[in-house]
Amino acid sequence: MCGIVGYLGNRDAVPVLLSGLRRLEYRGYDSAGMAVIRGNGDLNVHKCKGRVADLEKHIEGKDTAATIGIAHTRWATHGEPNDCNAHPHLSQSGRIALVHNGIIENYRILKEALTEQGYTFRSTTDSEVFVNLIEYIQEANNCSLLEAVQQATKQVVGAYAIAVVDRDNPDQLIAVRQSSPLVIGIGEGEYFISSDAASVIEYTNDFVYLNDGEIALISRNVPVRVTTAENESCRVDISTLQLSISELEKGGYEHFMLKEIFEQPHTLQDCIRGRIDKQTYATVLSGVRDNKEHFLNARRIIIVACGTSWHAALIGKHFIESLCRIPVEVDYASEFRYRKPVIQSDDIVIAVSQSGETADTLAAVNLARKSGAFVYGVCNVVGSSIARATDSGTYIHVGPEIGVASTKAFTGQVTVLLLLAMAISHEKGIAQEDRCKAIAKEMLTLPQKLESTLERVTTEVQSLAKIFTYAHNFIYMGRGVNYPTALEGALKLKEISYIHAEGYPAAEMKHGPIALVDAEMPCVVIATPDATYDKTVSNMEEIKARGGKIVAVVAEEDTIASEIADYVIRVPAVSEYLMPIVVSIPLQLLAYHIAVNKGRDVDKPRNLAKSVTVE
């Protein structure tokens, strides 16, 4: 949700800002802009509705030479996407420029108060209120920009990250983090700020991760100083981030999403690496081993997540309940945080989040910690807010996911939740040891199976996508662990193709949704071998009897379901526990190819953004 980047150093700032914005575009892409302080002391703002590419065109031919600047790519919250609402916003005098990610909840009251003081507003954003508040405080108190920012943050309520520059001080950048991500990259005599360290990784690997409520004063050729709003000094720890630029490029694929689908054999390998003993097949996760007491004494596990991560969590519930015999509840983080949930000190709360920045999941984590539960994170982005706010955790290690629709992160989350269940079971020493070892042994062969699945199903799925490109509705069905897999398949299709799609537990069809079935309704049924296979086959018969068109995802040797179905996709016959990972491959490809056929912007679907840092 909005991306911020800033630069202060000796290079030309604009190429740094633009390359940072391009890498941050996954966070929002309805408008973009930048403010630079030129050598002659001018503070120039360039901004427009549209993508970063539109901003590049907008500044073409303009003299933008500067060594300090801030920039922004927007996902609109307050005010429609247009040139005026694009960031940066200038204070009334034109002296201070600000970029903002997040929401100022009390902006109306502040706006009224500033209006009474003679301030007028050009945009309909909450962000313009913030910059004018800073200017008002500075002028009223005749104080420094830092002091004005410190005072302003005490008056502003909400979740935000901001970067501020002052025309009269071209050697200073101020950055604030309050519940929205912000990092400072440290180079040789230069500084970068960004919503995501990956966006400036080509310039530096050294980062300071700001904590909530911290205000960084970045001055030319002076070490970064970090304070609170009360001007208390904070520790400045520099962490090194290992990330290669190739992980952030499309690498010859037409879209990031396709690249990320095809990366899964490798990402799975990275996810498993070092976690399964190749001699004994025991699963050991340091996060579980080091916190053994919590896992041994847990009376209940609650998993909180949003979107795709919530689907992974539902699958995780099956794994933990069946392999560890600990009751598991799965909650939408947004519901959990406002529901006054009963959380006890012997509960474990697991937060699942690719970005590690989702506002609702982070709030659920904070609530759980306050309530005394042990909180465990399953995140992808190293050093992210959720990863840092949890007591312990396991990274999924699938590398940067840039396509807005989550693919490799989903299979990584499912994999880690299975590893987690096996590791807990191992520590508990319960009777599932042999079963866990068999799953672990098979898991080691999974990357290769995913590779062959990709090879085999790609062309088949492309042909199927042609048949169904113009369908208006889809139903996805599955049972057990494949019910959440069906939910995820439906979510993939709707978010990138804009075709309405629903996921259902197959047996629920006859309780209502079957009324939708007719010859125009494609039904994707996951009918892989498990205890409910025969029941799923009966559900398929019921659909068939009503003229529905069935696409069945079945195991290699299947004969029964494949006979009933109109179209069949075969996947390797892996254990039930690993099936959601294998089945996801054709479902992701189906959504992808239908969206491409419809001419959709697959990596940047309308209205969406990756990393939902607002409520």
Residues in contact with ligand F6R by the rule CB under 6 A? 306-309, 353-355, 358, 361, 405-406, 491, 495, 611-612
Q: Say how far apart CA 126 and CA 130 lie, in whole Å.
A: 7
Residue nearest to ligand F6R (CB): 307
CB of 309 to ligand F6R, least distance (A): 4
CB of 406 to ligand F6R, least distance (A): 3
CB of 87 to ligand F6R, least distance (A): 22
Cβ neighbors of 600 (< 8 A, separation 6 or more) are 496, 497, 498
Torsion of CA 283, 285, 289, 293, to 10 degrees: -100
Q: What phi, psi does 323 have (nearest 5°)?
A: -95, -20
CB of 79 to ligand F6R, least distance (A): 23
Going by C-alpha positions, the residue among 502, 507, 537 that lies closest to residue 523 is: 502
Q: Say how far apart CA 528 and CA 533 lie, in whole Å.
A: 7
Residue 492 vs 549, nearer CB to ligand F6R: 492
Please give the helix or strand (H or E) that residue 463 lies within, else none: helix 433-468
Strands lying side by side in the sheet with 392-395: 328-332, 300-305, 347-353, 374-379, 392-395
Q: Say how far apart CA 195 and CA 198 lie, in whole Å.
A: 9
CB of 198 to ligand F6R, least distance (A): 14
Residue 405 vs 581, nearer CB to ligand F6R: 405
Tokens at 209, concatenated? 């991760």
CB of 361 to ligand F6R, least distance (A): 5
CB of 404 to ligand F6R, least distance (A): 6
Residue 127 vs 358, nearer CB to ligand F6R: 358
Catalytic residue (one of 47, 259, 549, 610)? 610
- Per the CB < 8 A criterion, the answer to whether 467 and 593 are in contact is no
Is 610 a known active-site residue? yes
Catalytic residue (one of 2, 324, 379, 436)? 2
Residue 309 vs 415, nearer CB to ligand F6R: 309
3-state SS, one letter per residue, for 256-311: HHHHHHHCHHHHHHHHHCCCECCCCCCECCHHHHCCHHHHHHCCEEEEEECHHHHH
Residue 123 vs 308, nearer CB to ligand F6R: 308
Residue 133 vs 387, nearer CB to ligand F6R: 387
Q: What phi, psi does 575 have (nearest 5°)?
A: -60, 150
List the beta bridge partners of residue 8: 68, 191
Q: What phi, psi does 387 have (nearest 5°)?
A: -60, -35
Residue 149 vs 590, nearer CB to ligand F6R: 590
Q: Say how far apart CA 351 and CA 342 lie, in whole Å.
A: 16
Which amino acids are annotated catalytic? 2, 610
